[in-house]
Protein backbone atom coordinates (compact mmCIF):
# COMPACT_ATOMS: atom_id res chain seq x y z
CA UNK A 1 0.00 0.00 0.00
CA UNK A 2 1.30 3.43 -0.95
CA UNK A 3 1.99 5.75 1.98
CA UNK A 4 2.32 9.51 2.23
CA UNK A 5 6.02 9.04 2.98
CA UNK A 6 6.41 7.29 -0.40
CA UNK A 7 4.72 10.21 -2.15
CA UNK A 8 6.74 12.85 -0.30
CA UNK A 9 10.11 11.13 -0.73
CA UNK A 10 11.18 12.96 -3.95
CA UNK A 11 10.65 16.34 -2.23
CA UNK A 12 11.22 15.38 1.43
CA UNK A 13 13.98 17.95 1.99
CA UNK A 14 11.92 20.71 0.38
CA UNK A 15 8.91 19.87 2.57
CA UNK A 16 11.04 20.38 5.67
CA UNK A 17 12.10 23.72 4.21
CA UNK A 18 8.44 24.51 3.57
CA UNK A 19 7.50 23.88 7.21
CA UNK A 20 10.21 26.31 8.33
CA UNK A 21 8.97 28.84 5.77
CA UNK A 22 5.39 28.64 7.13
CA UNK A 23 6.55 28.89 10.75
CA UNK A 24 8.72 31.92 10.03
CA UNK A 25 5.92 33.59 8.06
CA UNK A 26 3.42 33.09 10.90
CA UNK A 27 5.84 33.81 13.74
CA UNK A 28 3.75 35.61 16.35
CA UNK A 29 4.92 37.30 19.55
CA UNK A 30 5.49 34.64 22.20
CA UNK A 31 3.27 34.56 25.26
CA UNK A 32 0.19 35.95 23.51
CA UNK A 33 -3.12 34.20 22.93
CA UNK A 34 -2.67 34.66 19.19
CA UNK A 35 0.74 32.94 19.27
CA UNK A 36 -0.71 30.06 21.28
CA UNK A 37 -3.60 29.60 18.88
CA UNK A 38 -1.44 29.84 15.75
CA UNK A 39 1.05 27.33 17.17
CA UNK A 40 -1.80 24.92 17.97
CA UNK A 41 -3.29 25.27 14.49
CA UNK A 42 0.06 24.83 12.70
CA UNK A 43 1.02 21.88 14.89
CA UNK A 44 -2.25 20.07 14.25
CA UNK A 45 -2.33 20.53 10.48
CA UNK A 46 -3.20 17.41 8.55
CA UNK A 47 -1.63 15.42 5.74
CA UNK A 48 -0.20 18.40 3.88
CA UNK A 49 -1.50 17.06 0.57
CA UNK A 50 -2.01 20.50 -0.95
CA UNK A 51 1.54 21.86 -0.52
CA UNK A 52 2.88 18.42 -1.49
CA UNK A 53 0.85 18.58 -4.70
CA UNK A 54 2.02 22.13 -5.47
CA UNK A 55 5.68 21.17 -5.07
CA UNK A 56 5.39 17.89 -6.98
CA UNK A 57 3.76 19.66 -9.91
CA UNK A 58 6.42 22.40 -9.83
CA UNK A 59 9.21 19.81 -9.91
CA UNK A 60 7.45 17.74 -12.60
CA UNK A 61 6.86 20.72 -14.91
CA UNK A 62 10.14 22.56 -14.34
CA UNK A 63 12.79 21.89 -17.04
CA UNK A 64 15.42 21.46 -14.31
CA UNK A 65 13.20 19.48 -11.92
CA UNK A 66 13.83 22.19 -9.33
CA UNK A 67 11.87 25.06 -7.84
CA UNK A 68 12.44 28.05 -5.60
CA UNK A 69 10.74 30.52 -3.28
CA UNK A 70 7.88 31.23 -5.69
CA UNK A 71 6.77 27.64 -5.34
CA UNK A 72 7.15 27.76 -1.55
CA UNK A 73 4.99 30.89 -1.49
CA UNK A 74 2.33 29.28 -3.71
CA UNK A 75 2.27 26.19 -1.51
CA UNK A 76 1.87 28.29 1.63
CA UNK A 77 -0.90 30.46 0.17
CA UNK A 78 -3.06 27.44 -0.70
CA UNK A 79 -2.26 25.56 2.52
CA UNK A 80 -3.17 28.47 4.78
CA UNK A 81 -6.42 29.14 2.89
CA UNK A 82 -7.29 25.50 3.52
CA UNK A 83 -6.19 25.73 7.17
CA UNK A 84 -8.33 28.81 7.84
CA UNK A 85 -11.31 27.23 6.10
CA UNK A 86 -11.15 24.23 8.45
CA UNK A 87 -11.12 26.51 11.50
CA UNK A 88 -14.21 28.27 10.16
CA UNK A 89 -15.85 24.96 9.17
CA UNK A 90 -15.64 23.68 12.72
CA UNK A 91 -17.37 26.81 14.00
CA UNK A 92 -20.15 26.55 11.41
CA UNK A 93 -20.63 22.81 12.05
CA UNK A 94 -20.18 23.19 15.82
CA UNK A 95 -17.60 20.40 15.63
CA UNK A 96 -15.71 19.74 18.85
CA UNK A 97 -13.01 17.59 17.25
CA UNK A 98 -10.59 17.93 14.37
CA UNK A 99 -8.23 15.04 13.56
CA UNK A 100 -8.82 13.46 16.95
CA UNK A 101 -8.01 16.62 18.89
CA UNK A 102 -10.10 19.43 20.30
CA UNK A 103 -11.14 21.85 17.55
CA UNK A 104 -10.06 25.48 17.86
CA UNK A 105 -13.61 26.54 18.74
CA UNK A 106 -13.87 23.81 21.40
CA UNK A 107 -10.63 24.98 23.01
CA UNK A 108 -10.97 28.77 22.69
CA UNK A 109 -14.68 29.32 21.90
CA UNK A 110 -16.24 30.13 18.56
CA UNK A 111 -15.67 33.89 18.75
CA UNK A 112 -11.90 33.50 18.96
CA UNK A 113 -11.90 30.72 16.37
CA UNK A 114 -13.62 32.94 13.80
CA UNK A 115 -11.19 35.79 14.47
CA UNK A 116 -8.07 33.60 14.25
CA UNK A 117 -9.35 32.09 11.00
CA UNK A 118 -9.85 35.60 9.63
CA UNK A 119 -6.37 36.54 10.85
CA UNK A 120 -4.77 33.62 9.00
CA UNK A 121 -6.49 34.65 5.76
CA UNK A 122 -5.53 38.32 6.20
CA UNK A 123 -1.93 37.53 7.12
CA UNK A 124 -1.70 35.13 4.19
CA UNK A 125 -2.91 37.80 1.78
CA UNK A 126 -0.54 40.36 3.29
CA UNK A 127 2.43 38.02 2.77
CA UNK A 128 1.35 37.39 -0.81
CA UNK A 129 0.98 41.09 -1.62
CA UNK A 130 4.31 42.03 -0.07
CA UNK A 131 6.05 39.29 -2.06
CA UNK A 132 5.16 41.07 -5.30
CA UNK A 133 4.21 37.74 -6.93
CA UNK A 134 0.90 39.09 -8.15
CA UNK A 135 0.34 36.42 -10.81
CA UNK A 136 0.42 33.69 -8.18
CA UNK A 137 -1.64 35.65 -5.68
CA UNK A 138 -4.34 36.50 -8.23
CA UNK A 139 -4.50 32.91 -9.40
CA UNK A 140 -4.83 31.40 -5.91
CA UNK A 141 -6.98 33.98 -4.13
CA UNK A 142 -9.83 33.46 -6.60
CA UNK A 143 -10.33 29.99 -5.16
CA UNK A 144 -11.33 31.53 -1.81
CA UNK A 145 -14.58 32.91 -3.22
CA UNK A 146 -15.35 29.60 -4.95
CA UNK A 147 -14.73 27.71 -1.70
CA UNK A 148 -17.10 29.99 0.23
CA UNK A 149 -19.76 29.64 -2.46
CA UNK A 150 -19.50 25.85 -2.13
CA UNK A 151 -20.06 25.99 1.62
CA UNK A 152 -23.14 28.20 1.20
CA UNK A 153 -24.51 25.89 -1.50
CA UNK A 154 -24.04 22.88 0.79
CA UNK A 155 -25.85 24.64 3.64
CA UNK A 156 -28.70 25.54 1.31
CA UNK A 157 -29.10 21.94 0.16
CA UNK A 158 -28.86 20.63 3.74
CA UNK A 159 -31.84 22.77 4.62
CA UNK A 160 -33.93 21.58 1.67
CA UNK A 161 -32.83 17.90 1.48
CA UNK A 162 -33.40 17.93 -2.28
CA UNK A 163 -29.89 17.80 -3.70
CA UNK A 164 -29.33 16.09 -7.05
CA UNK A 165 -26.12 14.41 -8.24
CA UNK A 166 -25.36 17.37 -10.50
CA UNK A 167 -25.76 19.76 -7.57
CA UNK A 168 -23.64 17.50 -5.36
CA UNK A 169 -20.79 17.53 -7.90
CA UNK A 170 -21.08 21.32 -8.13
CA UNK A 171 -20.80 21.60 -4.34
CA UNK A 172 -17.75 19.33 -4.03
CA UNK A 173 -16.03 21.07 -6.93
CA UNK A 174 -16.45 24.43 -5.24
CA UNK A 175 -15.74 23.42 -1.62
CA UNK A 176 -12.86 20.98 -2.27
CA UNK A 177 -11.75 20.33 -5.83
CA UNK A 178 -11.31 23.99 -6.81
CA UNK A 179 -8.55 24.47 -4.23
CA UNK A 180 -6.79 21.27 -5.34
CA UNK A 181 -6.98 22.63 -8.90
CA UNK A 182 -5.37 25.89 -7.74
CA UNK A 183 -2.66 23.94 -5.89
CA UNK A 184 -1.65 22.00 -8.96
CA UNK A 185 -1.84 24.83 -11.49
CA UNK A 186 -0.04 27.23 -9.10
CA UNK A 187 2.84 24.75 -8.95
CA UNK A 188 3.19 24.90 -12.72
CA UNK A 189 2.80 28.68 -12.85
CA UNK A 190 5.42 29.12 -10.11
CA UNK A 191 8.14 27.60 -12.33
CA UNK A 192 7.05 29.36 -15.53
CA UNK A 193 5.50 26.33 -17.23
CA UNK A 194 3.63 26.99 -20.50
CA UNK A 195 -0.03 27.92 -20.21
CA UNK A 196 -1.21 24.60 -21.68
CA UNK A 197 0.73 22.71 -19.02
CA UNK A 198 -0.72 24.88 -16.23
CA UNK A 199 -4.24 24.29 -17.58
CA UNK A 200 -3.63 20.54 -17.72
CA UNK A 201 -2.36 20.54 -14.14
CA UNK A 202 -5.46 22.51 -13.14
CA UNK A 203 -7.60 19.71 -14.58
CA UNK A 204 -5.44 17.10 -12.82
CA UNK A 205 -5.94 18.83 -9.47
CA UNK A 206 -9.67 19.27 -10.04
CA UNK A 207 -10.27 15.60 -10.90
CA UNK A 208 -8.14 14.41 -7.99
CA UNK A 209 -9.94 16.82 -5.67
CA UNK A 210 -13.34 15.50 -6.75
CA UNK A 211 -12.19 11.97 -5.94
CA UNK A 212 -10.72 13.13 -2.62
CA UNK A 213 -14.06 14.57 -1.46
CA UNK A 214 -16.01 11.50 -2.57
CA UNK A 215 -13.67 9.34 -0.44
CA UNK A 216 -14.32 11.70 2.49
CA UNK A 217 -18.04 11.21 2.00
CA UNK A 218 -17.65 7.44 1.79
CA UNK A 219 -15.66 7.41 5.04
CA UNK A 220 -18.58 9.04 6.80
CA UNK A 221 -20.43 5.75 6.26
CA UNK A 222 -17.52 3.74 7.71
CA UNK A 223 -17.94 3.22 11.47
CA UNK A 224 -14.25 2.50 12.11
CA UNK A 225 -12.71 5.18 9.93
CA UNK A 226 -9.57 7.03 11.06
CA UNK A 227 -10.59 10.54 10.10
CA UNK A 228 -10.66 11.86 13.67
CA UNK A 229 -14.29 12.92 13.11
CA UNK A 230 -17.34 11.10 14.46
CA UNK A 231 -18.89 8.56 12.08
CA UNK A 232 -22.15 9.69 10.41
CA UNK A 233 -21.12 13.32 10.98
CA UNK A 234 -22.55 14.36 7.60
CA UNK A 235 -25.87 12.67 8.27
CA UNK A 236 -26.18 14.40 11.62
CA UNK A 237 -25.68 17.69 9.79
CA UNK A 238 -28.38 16.76 7.22
CA UNK A 239 -25.83 16.50 4.39
CA UNK A 240 -26.78 14.07 1.64
CA UNK A 241 -23.63 12.88 -0.12
CA UNK A 242 -22.85 10.51 -3.00
CA UNK A 243 -23.30 7.10 -1.28
CA UNK A 244 -26.82 8.07 -0.24
CA UNK A 245 -27.56 9.80 -3.54
CA UNK A 246 -26.79 6.50 -5.28
CA UNK A 247 -29.45 4.87 -3.11
CA UNK A 248 -32.02 7.63 -3.60
CA UNK A 249 -31.56 7.33 -7.36
CA UNK A 250 -32.76 3.70 -7.21
CA UNK A 251 -35.35 4.07 -4.47
CA UNK A 252 -39.11 3.87 -4.90
CA UNK A 253 -41.02 7.04 -3.98
CA UNK A 254 -42.04 5.37 -0.71
CA UNK A 255 -38.49 4.39 0.26
CA UNK A 256 -37.18 7.80 -0.78
CA UNK A 257 -39.69 9.46 1.55
CA UNK A 258 -38.62 7.14 4.39
CA UNK A 259 -34.95 7.94 3.84
CA UNK A 260 -35.52 11.70 3.70
CA UNK A 261 -37.54 11.48 6.90
CA UNK A 262 -34.67 9.57 8.53
CA UNK A 263 -32.16 12.23 7.43
CA UNK A 264 -34.34 14.89 9.06
CA UNK A 265 -34.17 12.92 12.34
CA UNK A 266 -30.53 11.78 12.12
CA UNK A 267 -29.17 14.50 14.41
CA UNK A 268 -31.20 13.27 17.38
CA UNK A 269 -32.16 9.66 16.64
CA UNK A 270 -29.41 7.00 16.29
CA UNK A 271 -32.02 4.58 14.90
CA UNK A 272 -32.52 6.92 11.93
CA UNK A 273 -28.79 6.83 11.18
CA UNK A 274 -28.83 3.01 11.42
CA UNK A 275 -31.76 2.84 8.99
CA UNK A 276 -29.96 5.05 6.44
CA UNK A 277 -26.78 2.98 6.70
CA UNK A 278 -28.77 -0.21 6.16
CA UNK A 279 -30.21 1.22 2.94
CA UNK A 280 -26.76 2.32 1.75
CA UNK A 281 -25.48 -1.24 2.29
CA UNK A 282 -28.56 -2.86 0.76
CA UNK A 283 -28.45 -0.76 -2.41
CA UNK A 284 -24.64 -0.79 -2.75
CA UNK A 285 -24.28 2.97 -2.33
CA UNK A 286 -20.63 2.91 -1.24
CA UNK A 287 -19.42 0.70 -4.10
CA UNK A 288 -21.31 2.77 -6.64
CA UNK A 289 -19.69 5.92 -5.21
CA UNK A 290 -16.28 4.22 -5.47
CA UNK A 291 -16.87 3.55 -9.15
CA UNK A 292 -17.50 7.27 -9.67
CA UNK A 293 -14.34 8.31 -7.80
CA UNK A 294 -12.30 5.87 -9.92
CA UNK A 295 -13.59 7.58 -13.06
CA UNK A 296 -12.43 10.94 -11.72
CA UNK A 297 -9.00 9.49 -10.91
CA UNK A 298 -8.66 8.02 -14.41
CA UNK A 299 -9.36 11.45 -15.85
CA UNK A 300 -6.74 12.92 -13.50
CA UNK A 301 -4.13 10.36 -14.56
CA UNK A 302 -4.77 11.07 -18.24
CA UNK A 303 -3.47 14.62 -17.67
CA UNK A 304 -0.04 13.23 -16.70
CA UNK A 305 0.62 11.43 -19.99
CA UNK A 306 2.49 14.38 -21.51
CA UNK A 307 4.88 14.81 -18.56
CA UNK A 308 8.35 13.30 -18.58
CA UNK A 309 8.77 10.09 -16.61
CA UNK A 310 10.39 11.41 -13.43
CA UNK A 311 10.11 10.53 -9.72
CA UNK A 312 7.85 13.59 -9.36
CA UNK A 313 5.40 12.37 -12.01
CA UNK A 314 5.40 8.92 -10.42
CA UNK A 315 4.67 10.49 -7.04
CA UNK A 316 1.63 12.25 -8.58
CA UNK A 317 0.42 8.90 -9.93
CA UNK A 318 0.96 7.39 -6.48
CA UNK A 319 -0.96 10.29 -4.94
CA UNK A 320 -4.02 9.28 -6.97
CA UNK A 321 -3.71 5.72 -5.65
CA UNK A 322 -3.33 7.05 -2.11
CA UNK A 323 -6.47 9.16 -2.46
CA UNK A 324 -8.48 6.11 -3.57
CA UNK A 325 -7.16 3.88 -0.77
CA UNK A 326 -7.02 6.28 2.16
CA UNK A 327 -8.95 5.62 5.37
CA UNK A 328 -8.52 9.02 7.03
What mean pLDDT do residues 199-223 have?
A: 94
Q: What is the mean pLDDT of the chain?
A: 92
Structural domain including 47 reads 4-325
Question: Rounded CA gap, 149 and 48, in Å?
Answer: 23
Q: Which residues of 238-273 are buried (b: 16+ CB within 10 A; e: fewer)?
A: bbbbbbbbbbbeebeeeeeebbbebbebbeeeeebb
Say if residues 206 and 298 touch (Cβ distance below 8 Å). Answer: no
Number of domains in the chain: 1
Question: Rounded CA gap, 203 and 181, in Å?
Answer: 6
Distance in Å from the first CA to the final CA of the chain = 14
User: DSSP assignment of 178-226, as one string?
Assistant: HHHHHHHHHHHHHTT--HHHHHHHHHHHHHHHHHHHHHHHHHTT-TT--
Question: Rounded CA gap, 238 and 180, in Å?
Answer: 25
User: DSSP assignment of 19-38, as one string?
Assistant: HHHHHHHT-PPTTSHHHHHH
Tell me the per-residue pLDDT of 30-76, one tens digit each, with 9 for 90 and over. Answer: 889 999 999 999 998 888 999 999 999 999 999 888 999 999 999 99
Report strand pairing: 101-102 vs 97-98: antiparallel
Confidence of residue 175 (pLDDT cuts 50, 70, 90): very high
Question: Rounded CA gap, 264 and 92, in Å?
Answer: 19
**Phi, psi (deg, nearest 5) at residue 119:** -60, -45
- CATH code: domain of residue 103: 1.10.600.10
Note the residue count of the chain. Answer: 328
The pLDDT score that the predictor gives to residue 27 is 87
What mean pLDDT do residues 302-310 have?
A: 96
Say if residues 219 and 227 touch (Cβ distance below 8 Å). Answer: yes
Binning the chain into helix, strand and coil, the percentages to the nearest 5 are: 75, 0, 25
Tell me which H or E stretch contains 67. Answer: none
> How many C-beta neighbours within 10 Å does residue 203 have?
16
Tell me the per-residue pLDDT of 215-263, one tens digit each, with 9 for 90 and over. Answer: 999 999 886 655 555 567 788 888 899 999 999 999 999 999 999 999 9
**Phi, psi (deg, nearest 5) at residue 102:** -60, 135
Query: Is the model's pLDDT at 6 over the cut of 80?
Result: yes
Amino acid sequence: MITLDDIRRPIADRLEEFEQFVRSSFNEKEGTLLAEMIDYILSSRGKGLRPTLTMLVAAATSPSGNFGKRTMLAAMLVEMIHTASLVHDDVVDQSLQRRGQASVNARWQSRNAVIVGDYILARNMDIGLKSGQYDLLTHIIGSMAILCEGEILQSDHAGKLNITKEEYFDVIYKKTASLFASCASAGAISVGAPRKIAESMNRFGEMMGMAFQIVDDILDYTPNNNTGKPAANDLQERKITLPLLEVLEQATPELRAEIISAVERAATEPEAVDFIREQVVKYDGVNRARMTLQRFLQRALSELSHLEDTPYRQAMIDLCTFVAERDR
